Amino acid sequence: MIAWTLLICFIVAVLITPVVKQFAIKIGATDQPNHRKVHQKVMARLGGLAIYIGFLIGFIILQPASPYMIPILIGSFIIILTGFLDDMIELSAKWKLFGQLLAAGVVIFYGVRLDFINLPFGGELHLGWLAIPITLLWIIGITNAINLIDGLDGLAAGVSSIVLITISGLAILDGNIFVASLGVILLGSTLGFLVHNFNPAKIFMGDTGALFLGYMIAVISLLGFKNVTAFSLVIPVIILAVPISDTLFAIVRRVVQKKPLSAPDKSHLHHCLLRIGLSHKQTVLVIYAMTAFFGLAAVVLTMSTLWISLLVITISLVVIELIAERVGLVSDEYRPVMNLVRRIQNKNSARRIS
Protein backbone atom coordinates (compact mmCIF):
# COMPACT_ATOMS: atom_id res chain seq x y z
CA MET A 1 0.00 0.00 0.00
CA ILE A 2 2.86 2.39 0.81
CA ALA A 3 4.45 1.83 -2.60
CA TRP A 4 1.14 2.49 -4.38
CA THR A 5 0.61 5.65 -2.33
CA LEU A 6 4.08 6.89 -3.29
CA LEU A 7 3.16 6.40 -6.96
CA ILE A 8 -0.21 8.14 -6.55
CA CYS A 9 1.41 11.14 -4.78
CA PHE A 10 3.99 11.32 -7.56
CA ILE A 11 1.33 11.32 -10.30
CA VAL A 12 -0.82 13.88 -8.46
CA ALA A 13 2.15 16.25 -8.05
CA VAL A 14 3.18 15.81 -11.70
CA LEU A 15 -0.34 16.62 -12.89
CA ILE A 16 -1.17 19.41 -10.45
CA THR A 17 2.10 21.38 -10.78
CA PRO A 18 1.20 22.95 -14.19
CA VAL A 19 -2.16 24.00 -12.70
CA VAL A 20 -0.37 25.58 -9.73
CA LYS A 21 1.96 27.35 -12.18
CA GLN A 22 -0.95 28.97 -14.00
CA PHE A 23 -2.53 29.91 -10.67
CA ALA A 24 0.73 31.53 -9.49
CA ILE A 25 1.05 33.57 -12.68
CA LYS A 26 -2.59 34.63 -12.48
CA ILE A 27 -2.29 35.98 -8.93
CA GLY A 28 1.16 37.49 -9.50
CA ALA A 29 3.18 35.09 -7.35
CA THR A 30 6.31 35.28 -9.49
CA ASP A 31 10.03 35.45 -8.81
CA GLN A 32 11.82 38.39 -10.38
CA PRO A 33 15.50 38.03 -11.39
CA ASN A 34 18.06 40.16 -9.52
CA HIS A 35 21.80 40.30 -8.77
CA ARG A 36 21.54 37.56 -6.10
CA LYS A 37 19.56 35.05 -8.16
CA VAL A 38 20.78 32.67 -10.82
CA HIS A 39 17.68 32.67 -13.03
CA GLN A 40 17.39 35.33 -15.75
CA LYS A 41 13.64 35.45 -16.35
CA VAL A 42 10.43 35.86 -14.39
CA MET A 43 9.42 32.50 -12.87
CA ALA A 44 6.20 31.31 -11.24
CA ARG A 45 6.61 30.23 -7.65
CA LEU A 46 4.12 28.63 -5.20
CA GLY A 47 5.22 25.21 -6.51
CA GLY A 48 5.16 24.04 -2.91
CA LEU A 49 1.37 23.98 -3.17
CA ALA A 50 1.66 21.03 -5.57
CA ILE A 51 3.83 19.19 -3.04
CA TYR A 52 1.34 19.99 -0.28
CA ILE A 53 -1.66 18.80 -2.32
CA GLY A 54 0.13 15.54 -3.12
CA PHE A 55 0.98 15.18 0.58
CA LEU A 56 -2.65 15.70 1.66
CA ILE A 57 -3.93 13.15 -0.83
CA GLY A 58 -1.35 10.64 0.37
CA PHE A 59 -2.38 11.38 3.94
CA ILE A 60 -6.04 10.69 3.08
CA ILE A 61 -5.14 7.41 1.37
CA LEU A 62 -2.86 6.00 4.07
CA GLN A 63 -4.50 7.65 7.10
CA PRO A 64 -1.50 6.83 9.30
CA ALA A 65 -2.63 6.26 12.87
CA SER A 66 -0.78 8.37 15.42
CA PRO A 67 -1.58 10.89 18.15
CA TYR A 68 0.70 13.25 16.21
CA MET A 69 -1.41 13.13 13.03
CA ILE A 70 -3.69 16.13 13.74
CA PRO A 71 -0.95 18.38 15.22
CA ILE A 72 1.25 17.72 12.17
CA LEU A 73 -1.62 18.58 9.81
CA ILE A 74 -2.30 21.82 11.72
CA GLY A 75 1.38 22.75 11.88
CA SER A 76 1.92 21.98 8.18
CA PHE A 77 -1.06 24.17 7.25
CA ILE A 78 0.38 27.06 9.29
CA ILE A 79 3.78 26.72 7.61
CA ILE A 80 2.19 26.47 4.14
CA LEU A 81 0.16 29.61 4.86
CA THR A 82 3.33 31.41 6.01
CA GLY A 83 5.18 30.42 2.85
CA PHE A 84 2.22 31.31 0.64
CA LEU A 85 1.94 34.80 2.13
CA ASP A 86 5.68 35.30 1.79
CA ASP A 87 5.60 34.28 -1.88
CA MET A 88 2.72 36.67 -2.44
CA ILE A 89 3.66 39.79 -0.46
CA GLU A 90 7.19 39.10 0.90
CA LEU A 91 6.66 38.95 4.64
CA SER A 92 9.17 40.60 6.92
CA ALA A 93 11.65 38.32 8.69
CA LYS A 94 9.74 38.80 11.96
CA TRP A 95 6.43 37.59 10.51
CA LYS A 96 8.08 34.62 8.80
CA LEU A 97 9.68 33.65 12.10
CA PHE A 98 6.34 34.09 13.87
CA GLY A 99 4.69 31.64 11.46
CA GLN A 100 7.51 29.13 11.95
CA LEU A 101 7.34 29.45 15.74
CA LEU A 102 3.57 28.95 15.68
CA ALA A 103 3.83 25.84 13.48
CA ALA A 104 6.61 24.42 15.65
CA GLY A 105 4.72 25.28 18.83
CA VAL A 106 1.69 23.23 17.75
CA VAL A 107 3.59 19.94 17.39
CA ILE A 108 5.72 20.60 20.47
CA PHE A 109 2.58 21.26 22.56
CA TYR A 110 1.22 17.86 21.49
CA GLY A 111 4.37 15.95 22.39
CA VAL A 112 6.79 16.11 19.46
CA ARG A 113 9.81 16.86 21.62
CA LEU A 114 13.39 15.75 22.03
CA ASP A 115 13.00 14.81 25.69
CA PHE A 116 16.25 12.83 25.94
CA ILE A 117 19.33 11.89 23.97
CA ASN A 118 20.59 8.31 23.92
CA LEU A 119 24.28 8.26 24.85
CA PRO A 120 26.85 6.16 22.97
CA PHE A 121 28.27 4.59 26.14
CA GLY A 122 24.86 3.67 27.53
CA GLY A 123 22.14 5.55 29.35
CA GLU A 124 20.14 8.60 28.45
CA LEU A 125 20.65 12.32 28.86
CA HIS A 126 17.28 13.75 29.91
CA LEU A 127 16.90 17.34 28.79
CA GLY A 128 14.20 18.40 31.23
CA TRP A 129 13.04 21.98 30.63
CA LEU A 130 15.61 22.31 27.82
CA ALA A 131 13.58 19.88 25.69
CA ILE A 132 11.24 22.59 24.41
CA PRO A 133 13.83 25.21 23.37
CA ILE A 134 16.11 22.55 21.81
CA THR A 135 13.20 21.05 19.86
CA LEU A 136 12.11 24.52 18.79
CA LEU A 137 15.65 25.34 17.65
CA TRP A 138 15.81 22.07 15.67
CA ILE A 139 12.52 22.65 13.84
CA ILE A 140 13.22 26.31 13.06
CA GLY A 141 16.83 25.53 12.11
CA ILE A 142 16.02 22.71 9.67
CA THR A 143 13.08 24.64 8.21
CA ASN A 144 15.38 27.53 7.34
CA ALA A 145 18.27 25.28 6.28
CA ILE A 146 16.14 23.75 3.50
CA ASN A 147 14.93 27.23 2.60
CA LEU A 148 18.52 28.50 2.26
CA ILE A 149 19.60 25.81 -0.21
CA ASP A 150 16.64 26.56 -2.48
CA GLY A 151 18.82 28.56 -4.86
CA LEU A 152 19.09 26.45 -8.04
CA ASP A 153 16.64 24.53 -10.21
CA GLY A 154 15.77 21.26 -8.51
CA LEU A 155 18.24 21.69 -5.65
CA ALA A 156 15.98 21.85 -2.57
CA ALA A 157 13.52 19.31 -4.02
CA GLY A 158 16.29 16.86 -4.93
CA VAL A 159 18.16 17.19 -1.64
CA SER A 160 14.88 16.81 0.28
CA SER A 161 14.03 13.70 -1.76
CA ILE A 162 17.37 12.05 -0.92
CA VAL A 163 16.91 12.95 2.75
CA LEU A 164 13.38 11.52 2.69
CA ILE A 165 14.59 8.29 1.04
CA THR A 166 17.09 7.86 3.88
CA ILE A 167 14.62 8.69 6.66
CA SER A 168 11.86 6.50 5.17
CA GLY A 169 14.23 3.57 4.60
CA LEU A 170 15.52 3.70 8.17
CA ALA A 171 11.95 4.04 9.51
CA ILE A 172 10.87 0.96 7.55
CA LEU A 173 13.85 -1.02 8.89
CA ASP A 174 12.95 0.15 12.41
CA GLY A 175 9.26 -0.74 11.96
CA ASN A 176 8.16 2.88 12.45
CA ILE A 177 5.16 2.82 10.11
CA PHE A 178 3.94 6.35 10.87
CA VAL A 179 7.28 8.00 10.03
CA ALA A 180 7.70 5.71 7.01
CA SER A 181 4.24 6.71 5.77
CA LEU A 182 4.92 10.43 6.17
CA GLY A 183 8.30 10.08 4.49
CA VAL A 184 6.92 8.13 1.53
CA ILE A 185 4.01 10.47 0.75
CA LEU A 186 6.32 13.47 1.03
CA LEU A 187 8.86 11.73 -1.20
CA GLY A 188 6.32 10.90 -3.90
CA SER A 189 4.94 14.45 -3.89
CA THR A 190 8.41 16.04 -3.99
CA LEU A 191 9.63 13.81 -6.83
CA GLY A 192 6.48 14.62 -8.81
CA PHE A 193 7.18 18.33 -8.41
CA LEU A 194 10.85 17.78 -9.28
CA VAL A 195 9.80 16.65 -12.77
CA HIS A 196 8.85 20.30 -13.44
CA ASN A 197 11.51 21.87 -11.22
CA PHE A 198 14.73 20.21 -12.42
CA ASN A 199 16.95 22.31 -14.65
CA PRO A 200 15.66 24.05 -16.69
CA ALA A 201 12.86 24.68 -14.18
CA LYS A 202 9.35 25.58 -15.28
CA ILE A 203 8.31 26.63 -11.77
CA PHE A 204 9.93 27.31 -8.38
CA MET A 205 8.70 25.80 -5.12
CA GLY A 206 9.04 29.20 -3.42
CA ASP A 207 8.98 29.61 0.35
CA THR A 208 5.67 27.72 0.24
CA GLY A 209 7.56 24.55 -0.66
CA ALA A 210 10.91 25.15 1.01
CA LEU A 211 9.44 26.01 4.43
CA PHE A 212 6.96 23.11 4.19
CA LEU A 213 9.64 20.55 3.28
CA GLY A 214 12.02 21.86 5.93
CA TYR A 215 9.32 21.80 8.59
CA MET A 216 8.12 18.30 7.74
CA ILE A 217 11.65 16.87 7.52
CA ALA A 218 12.46 18.42 10.90
CA VAL A 219 9.35 16.93 12.53
CA ILE A 220 9.56 13.42 11.06
CA SER A 221 13.29 13.17 11.80
CA LEU A 222 12.47 13.91 15.45
CA LEU A 223 9.82 11.20 15.45
CA GLY A 224 11.99 8.75 13.55
CA PHE A 225 15.15 8.62 15.64
CA LYS A 226 14.06 8.93 19.26
CA ASN A 227 14.68 5.26 19.99
CA VAL A 228 17.95 4.66 18.16
CA THR A 229 20.33 2.97 20.58
CA ALA A 230 23.32 5.29 20.17
CA PHE A 231 23.87 8.76 18.79
CA SER A 232 20.12 9.39 18.50
CA LEU A 233 20.60 13.09 17.75
CA VAL A 234 23.61 12.59 15.46
CA ILE A 235 21.80 10.45 12.87
CA PRO A 236 19.37 13.13 11.59
CA VAL A 237 22.24 15.65 11.75
CA ILE A 238 24.35 13.41 9.48
CA ILE A 239 21.42 12.85 7.10
CA LEU A 240 20.91 16.62 6.88
CA ALA A 241 24.64 17.44 6.88
CA VAL A 242 24.57 19.40 3.60
CA PRO A 243 21.82 21.94 4.46
CA ILE A 244 22.90 22.14 8.12
CA SER A 245 26.58 22.77 7.31
CA ASP A 246 25.68 25.30 4.61
CA THR A 247 23.59 27.19 7.18
CA LEU A 248 26.25 27.01 9.92
CA PHE A 249 29.01 28.20 7.60
CA ALA A 250 26.75 31.03 6.45
CA ILE A 251 26.41 32.11 10.09
CA VAL A 252 30.19 31.90 10.60
CA ARG A 253 30.77 33.81 7.36
CA ARG A 254 28.48 36.65 8.41
CA VAL A 255 30.01 36.84 11.89
CA VAL A 256 33.53 36.96 10.41
CA GLN A 257 32.47 39.62 7.90
CA LYS A 258 30.55 41.50 10.64
CA LYS A 259 27.28 41.36 8.73
CA PRO A 260 23.77 40.76 10.17
CA LEU A 261 22.85 37.08 10.33
CA SER A 262 19.81 37.75 8.14
CA ALA A 263 21.88 39.52 5.44
CA PRO A 264 21.61 37.72 2.07
CA ASP A 265 24.73 36.84 0.08
CA LYS A 266 25.97 34.78 -2.85
CA SER A 267 28.37 32.54 -0.91
CA HIS A 268 26.21 29.50 -0.18
CA LEU A 269 27.45 26.09 -1.27
CA HIS A 270 25.74 26.21 -4.67
CA HIS A 271 27.11 29.71 -5.35
CA CYS A 272 30.63 28.57 -4.47
CA LEU A 273 30.43 25.52 -6.74
CA LEU A 274 29.24 27.71 -9.60
CA ARG A 275 32.17 30.08 -8.98
CA ILE A 276 34.78 27.31 -9.28
CA GLY A 277 33.49 26.49 -12.75
CA LEU A 278 30.70 23.92 -12.42
CA SER A 279 27.62 24.34 -14.57
CA HIS A 280 24.15 24.81 -13.08
CA LYS A 281 23.26 21.15 -13.59
CA GLN A 282 26.67 19.86 -12.46
CA THR A 283 26.40 21.89 -9.25
CA VAL A 284 23.01 20.40 -8.44
CA LEU A 285 24.20 16.85 -9.17
CA VAL A 286 27.33 17.32 -7.03
CA ILE A 287 25.20 18.46 -4.08
CA TYR A 288 22.87 15.49 -4.68
CA ALA A 289 25.94 13.22 -4.47
CA MET A 290 27.08 14.90 -1.23
CA THR A 291 23.63 14.42 0.28
CA ALA A 292 23.57 10.76 -0.79
CA PHE A 293 27.04 10.25 0.76
CA PHE A 294 25.87 11.55 4.13
CA GLY A 295 22.63 9.57 3.84
CA LEU A 296 24.69 6.41 3.36
CA ALA A 297 26.91 7.41 6.29
CA ALA A 298 23.80 7.72 8.49
CA VAL A 299 22.63 4.25 7.44
CA VAL A 300 26.07 2.80 8.28
CA LEU A 301 25.96 4.65 11.60
CA THR A 302 22.71 2.94 12.65
CA MET A 303 24.17 -0.51 11.97
CA SER A 304 27.68 -0.09 13.36
CA THR A 305 29.53 -0.70 16.58
CA LEU A 306 30.47 2.27 18.74
CA TRP A 307 34.00 2.62 17.36
CA ILE A 308 32.88 2.31 13.73
CA SER A 309 30.22 4.93 14.48
CA LEU A 310 32.87 7.29 15.88
CA LEU A 311 34.96 6.71 12.75
CA VAL A 312 31.97 7.49 10.49
CA ILE A 313 31.24 10.70 12.41
CA THR A 314 34.91 11.76 12.26
CA ILE A 315 35.13 11.11 8.50
CA SER A 316 31.87 13.03 7.94
CA LEU A 317 33.17 16.05 9.88
CA VAL A 318 36.48 16.02 7.98
CA VAL A 319 34.67 15.78 4.63
CA ILE A 320 32.43 18.74 5.53
CA GLU A 321 35.41 20.84 6.58
CA LEU A 322 37.43 20.00 3.46
CA ILE A 323 34.50 20.82 1.18
CA ALA A 324 33.98 24.14 2.98
CA GLU A 325 37.67 25.05 2.60
CA ARG A 326 37.93 23.88 -1.01
CA VAL A 327 34.98 25.90 -2.29
CA GLY A 328 35.42 28.89 0.03
CA LEU A 329 32.24 28.64 2.11
CA VAL A 330 33.61 30.98 4.77
CA SER A 331 36.16 32.87 2.67
CA ASP A 332 38.91 32.17 0.14
CA GLU A 333 41.50 32.54 2.91
CA TYR A 334 39.79 30.14 5.36
CA ARG A 335 41.72 26.87 4.86
CA PRO A 336 43.11 25.71 8.25
CA VAL A 337 43.05 21.96 7.55
CA MET A 338 44.37 22.25 3.99
CA ASN A 339 47.13 24.61 5.17
CA LEU A 340 48.06 22.18 7.97
CA VAL A 341 48.28 19.28 5.48
CA ARG A 342 50.40 21.45 3.16
CA ARG A 343 52.80 22.34 6.00
CA ILE A 344 53.18 18.66 6.92
CA GLN A 345 53.86 17.77 3.29
CA ASN A 346 56.45 20.55 3.01
CA LYS A 347 58.22 19.35 6.18
CA ASN A 348 58.29 15.77 4.88
CA SER A 349 59.66 16.97 1.55
CA ALA A 350 62.36 18.99 3.32
CA ARG A 351 63.40 15.96 5.40
CA ARG A 352 63.69 13.77 2.31
CA ILE A 353 65.82 16.37 0.56
CA SER A 354 68.13 16.77 3.56
Residues 297, 242: Cα–Cα separation, whole Å: 13
- Tell me if 147 is assigned to a ligand binding site: yes
- Tell me if 144 is assigned to a ligand binding site: no
Please report, for residues 49, 189, 262, the alpha-carbon distance to residue 272 in angstroms, rounded to integers and kept in the order given.
30, 29, 19
Binding residues for Mg(2+): 147, 207
Binding residues: 147, 207
